[in-house]
């Protein structure tokens, strides 16, 4: 019988504890920031250094090793390259990232040996045309 009343007491005490937390938040001032109107500085600057938003590729240091394309789990990176027989180096002919498919996992940035592909703080690219989210880093 005491086990029965103990369960009832635990139920009431847990409900009281939850309601106390709820009521304490009821009388606090809201901390919602009206975006983008009432910010002292651009929101992009307040983003953390390691935030994951859009990808950028530094084409000057990219070696066309295809590691980022092979490690991407959803195949949103497309790289095509040609190998120059005289210099034994690869030259990129296509480097596209479909940001509409990207899930921002970071699996393409970690294995890059030169650090050519990385996240930037830019995140505002809302659009009604999904084709504008295809980033082309090699001009055609």
Predicted TM-score (pTM) of this structure: 0.67
Q: What is the pLDDT of residue 34?
A: 67
- One-character DSSP codes across 20-81: HHHHHHHTSPP----TTTT-SS-HHHHS-TT----EEE-TTT-----HHHHH-TT--EEEEE
Does residue 74 have a cis peptide bond before it, meaning omega lies within 30 degrees of 0?
Answer: no
How far is residue 66's CA from residue 70's CA, in Å, rounded to a whole number?
6
Q: What is the pLDDT of residue 74?
A: 93
Q: What is the pLDDT of residue 36?
A: 64
Task: Tell me the mean pLDDT per 10 residues along the chain, length 140.
Answer: 89 94 87 70 78 90 91 93 82 92 92 92 84 89
């Amino acid at each position: 019988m005491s086990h029965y009343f103990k369960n009832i007491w635990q139920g009431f005490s847990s409900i009281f504890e939850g309601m106390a937390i709820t009521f304490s938040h009821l009388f606090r001032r809201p901390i919602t920031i009206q975006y983008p109107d009432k910010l002292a500085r651009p929101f992009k600057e307040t983003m953390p250094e390691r935030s994951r938003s859009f990808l950028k590729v530094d084409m000057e240091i990219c070696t066309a090793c295809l590691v980022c394309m092979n490690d991407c789990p959803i195949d949103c990176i497309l790289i095509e390259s040609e190998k120059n027989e005289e210099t034994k180096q690869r030259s990129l002919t296509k480097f596209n990232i479909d940001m509409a498919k990207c899930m921002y996992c970071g699996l393409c940035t970690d294995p890059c040996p030169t650090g050519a592909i990385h996240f930037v703080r830019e995140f505002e690219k809302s659009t009604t045309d999904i084709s504008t989210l295809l980033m082309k880093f090699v001009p055609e």
